[in-house]
Amino acid sequence: MSHSVIEKWDKIQALLRDESDISKISYKTFLENLEPIRVQDNTIIIKTDDEIGRDYIERKYSKSIIIAIREIVGEIYNIKFMLPSEIAKEKKKVSNKKIPTNNNNEYNGLNSRYTFDTFVVGNNNKLAHAAALAVAESPAEAYNPLFIYGGVGLGKTHLMHSIAHFILSENSESKVLYVSSEKFTNELIKSIRDDKNEEFRQKYRNIDVLLVDDIQFIAGKERTQEEFFHTFNTLYEAKKQIIISSDRPPKEIETLEERLRSRFEWGLIADIQPPDFETRMAILQKRAEMEHLNLPNDVIQYVATNIKSNIRELEGGINKIIAYSTLVHKDLTKELAEDALKDLITPEKDKEITPQFILEIVAEHYNINPADIVSKKRPREIAYPRQIVMYLSRTLTDLSLPKIGQILGKRDHTTIIHGYEKISKDIQKDSAFKNTIEILTKKITGK
């Protein structure tokens, strides 16, 4: 079986041998001949020939092995030691068991940890989560297609896997196919080369749910777009659910055929933004709870404060801290976390705050184009963020009112005063809005 743990086993062994506190003689006696067989439900099956020493290995070295795996692979797994005779017996049992028709390799691509239960909902992903849940509960009835977009490591794949798991848990006979756009393209090329076009089409069109990750990579590939267009139409007309993810909305995918772009916009488009501080805290607390990690709150707060870009890096930071704590035999403290992450987190110098920077932060928060804020457009969804920029520019910079007005589309200084006063009054009247201003201020100042 091809799996990152198995592929990187030599590196895991090297870490145990050279950088852990395990003596050379103990490593050679107990660990050198361990062999990973497969990964099943987030558990790594490891073969050991030592029937007498198995219990000792499990008791004495399991934690070190789990830490080494986490350090090399970046994920946490359970481990189970088995003897060759037990593995052979299990294989025989599996070979005699009748496999359901829908239990093929396509479903095994799902990560068992990516479920709705383990997904942390925050302001950054509320719409995408609600839409995903609605689709899972009523495939092809709620939103079809469902198009989820956002940056790397923000949870798009987690939501897609959650939908697949939920549908299969409700009906194990459902034909659910999860695939990356790259795999779709590669399989199409292979089917053309081997003259198996019909087989390819049957695979992708004779299903109940199709989930395609990173659809942006089919842009510019004419034959792939042609095939996906017909696959989409076949499934849609048969009232089958389609879920698509991308790093950007359909209208921003260059060289995507217009007929595909319009179809991607038929259903619901939901975005996922980087998590705010509270959501980052919740993600790390959930992770600690799920994996029974004793993480002090100040350690979680340190990581959540300093790693802001995406969830993958957030969890990678925690992995590194735990591994470092184990290797140096020190308790998990904020000081240890700072030491473990010193190559990832550099102390921020006091950055110059400019109206342009404030404008970008506010535009990102309200999901509007920065150019619209400095334009003459007057709809409330643009005018109000513009007034927020005026307020924050006056409170966070030393620039004169005419200078701020000049930067914000050559506006008169009296307009800046009006915007400042309007936001000041709203802060006094509305505690939720006051909280929004505080969040924006933290994003801008980094404090």
* Within a domain: 86: yes
**How many Cβ atoms sit within 10 Å of the Cβ of residue 294?**
9
* Within a domain: 324: yes
* Within a domain: 350: no
* Within a domain: 223: yes
364's tokens: 């990102």
Residues 11 and 44 placed together within one structural domain of the fold: yes
Q: Give the residue from 315, 340, 365 where a domain finishes.
A: 340
Q: Give the residue from 313, 340, 367 where a domain finishes.
A: 340
444's tokens: 């801008």
361-374: b or e for each residue (b if 16 or more CB lie within 10 Å)? bbbebbebebebbb
156 annotated to a ligand binding site: yes
359 Cβ contact partners less than 8 Å away, ≥ 6 residues apart: 370, 373, 374, 389, 407, 408
* Within a domain: 418: yes
Q: What percent of the chain has pLDDT over 70?
A: 93
Output the domain CATH number for residue 241.
Answer: 3.40.50.300
Domain of residue 17 covers 4-96
- Residue 204 binned pLDDT confidence (cut-offs 50, 70, 90): very high
Residue 113 is predicted with a pLDDT of 84
pLDDT of 370 strictly over 70? yes
Residues 254 and 281 placed together within one structural domain of the fold: no
Q: Give the residue from 286, 310, 340 where a domain finishes.
A: 340
* Within a domain: 347: no
Output the domain CATH number for residue 335.
Answer: 1.10.8.60
Residues 14 and 89 placed together within one structural domain of the fold: yes
Q: Are 36 and 6 in contact (CB under 8 A)?
A: yes
pLDDT digits (tens, 9 = 90+) for 270-317: 999 888 888 888 989 888 887 777 888 888 888 888 887 788 888 888
Predicted structure pTM score:
0.58
Number of independent structural domains in the chain: 4
Residues 163 and 191 placed together within one structural domain of the fold: yes
Residues 311 and 423 placed together within one structural domain of the fold: no
Looking up tokens 């927020």, which residue turns up?
388
pLDDT digits (tens, 9 = 90+) for 207-251: 999 999 999 999 889 999 999 999 999 999 999 999 999 988 998
What are the backbone angles phi and psi of residue 39, rounded to the nearest 5°? -115, 125
- Residue 380 binned pLDDT confidence (cut-offs 50, 70, 90): confident
Residues 87 and 176 placed together within one structural domain of the fold: no
Q: What percent of the chain has pLDDT over 90?
A: 31
Output the domain CATH number for residue 23.
Answer: 3.30.300.180
155 annotated to a ligand binding site: yes
Distance CA(372)–CA(359), nearest Å, equals: 10
Q: Are 242 and 144 in contact (CB under 8 A)?
A: yes
* Within a domain: 102: no
427 Cβ contact partners less than 8 Å away, ≥ 6 residues apart: 433, 434, 437
Distance CA(418)–CA(413), nearest Å, equals: 9
Structure-model confidence comparison of residues 107 and 71, the more confident one? 71
Residues 170 and 237 placed together within one structural domain of the fold: yes
157 annotated to a ligand binding site: yes
Residues 126 and 216 placed together within one structural domain of the fold: yes
Residue 412 to residues 407, 422, 423, Cα–Cα distance (Å): 11, 16, 17
What end-to-end distance do the CA atoms of the chain give, in Å?
A: 47
Residues 147 and 34 placed together within one structural domain of the fold: no
pLDDT digits (tens, 9 = 90+) for 393-410: 998 888 888 888 888 888
Residues 158 and 303 placed together within one structural domain of the fold: no
* Within a domain: 348: no
336's tokens: 């240890």
Residues 232 and 281 placed together within one structural domain of the fold: no
Q: Are 175 and 206 in contact (CB under 8 A)?
A: yes
Output the domain CATH number for residue 402.
Answer: 1.10.1750.10
Residues 125 and 266 placed together within one structural domain of the fold: yes
Please, what is the average pLDDT of the chain?
85
Residue 139 is predicted with a pLDDT of 92
